[in-house]
Amino acid sequence: MIKLFIYYSVLLINLSCGSSGLGQSGTTPPSHATFDQLLQAHVSEQGTVDYKGFMADVDKLDAYLASLSSNAPDRAAWSEAEQLAYWINAYNAFTIKLILDHYPVKSIKDIGPKLTIPIVNTVWHVEFFEIGGKPASLDEIEHKILRKEFDEPRIHFAINCASISCPKLMNHAYSAKNLDAQLQQAAYTFINNPMHNSMTKEQAELSPLFSWFEEDFTRKGSLVDFINQYAENKLNNEAKISFKDYNWSLNE
């Protein structure tokens, strides 16, 4: 009886170690090769998405999503880059799946609960998938994991909300090996795209992302300091800043 008790005690400890907070974790990161192939096939260089094409390959997407669901990151065993690549890819892949499940749709904001309460009950709070056996949502990935656990503001240029004003969905999956270069490219591409940000030395009309998540971009300096790391047209410290409207139309 004592041996049986010890056995189950050790088993419970092993199951709890390395947990991601979203259920049992995987010992090794899943491959993102399938998602990479799907993105290359159905996303243009400009970031527009062929959702009909994705629908034709939905079995492949579902298989990839299943690999994510059954392999929650092990914080004790995975590198930070492996965890970040996993969560960025998971956010983007499950967002695509959400659109496909409701396609055709004009905007991601048309999906979700009938009673929408800003910040509290929106499409991003819907728990329509699982990670490690526990219900999860896009909001949880973005705000409780990516923003809370990692000091990496460039994630805002990597995750895509299926809308025209979002940073574009790259036509490749993120990988631990190339993560820093990929995040650098995502930041540079977004900040220097005049559709999102219009800048001269004296003034800038910026994406609302820089207003919504200003605290993430100003942890190590001012907002101008952050933008000037990537901007081709550098801003003066006293530059007048305003923010554009956000277009939530589908990025199709």
Residue-wise pLDDT tens digits, 84-138: 999 999 999 999 999 999 999 999 999 977 666 776 689 999 999 999 999 999 9
**Residue 113 has what pLDDT?**
75
Q: Tell me the pLDDT band of 7, cut-offs 50, 70 and 90.
A: very low
**Residue 112 has what pLDDT?**
77
Rounded distance, CA 250 to CA 109, Å? Answer: 9
Task: Check whether the bond before 208 is cis (ω within 30° of 0).
Answer: no
| CA nearest to 33, candidates 63, 74, 78 | 63
Residue 215 has pLDDT above 70, yes or no: yes
Residue 207 has pLDDT above 70, yes or no: yes
**Alpha-carbon distance values, 149 to 99, 159, 251 (Å):** 27, 16, 29
Let me know how many helices (H) and strands (E) the chain has, helices first.
11, 5
**Residue 142 has what pLDDT?**
98
95: CB partners within 8 A, 6+ apart: 108, 138, 159, 160, 161, 162
SS3 for 93? helix
Residue with tokens 């690999």: 67
Q: How many CB atoms lie within 10 A of CB 25?
A: 22
Q: Angle CA(188)–CA(100)–CA(70) in degrees, nearest 5?
A: 80
Q: Tell me the pLDDT band of 27, cut-offs 50, 70 and 90.
A: confident
Average of per-residue pLDDT values in the chain: 91
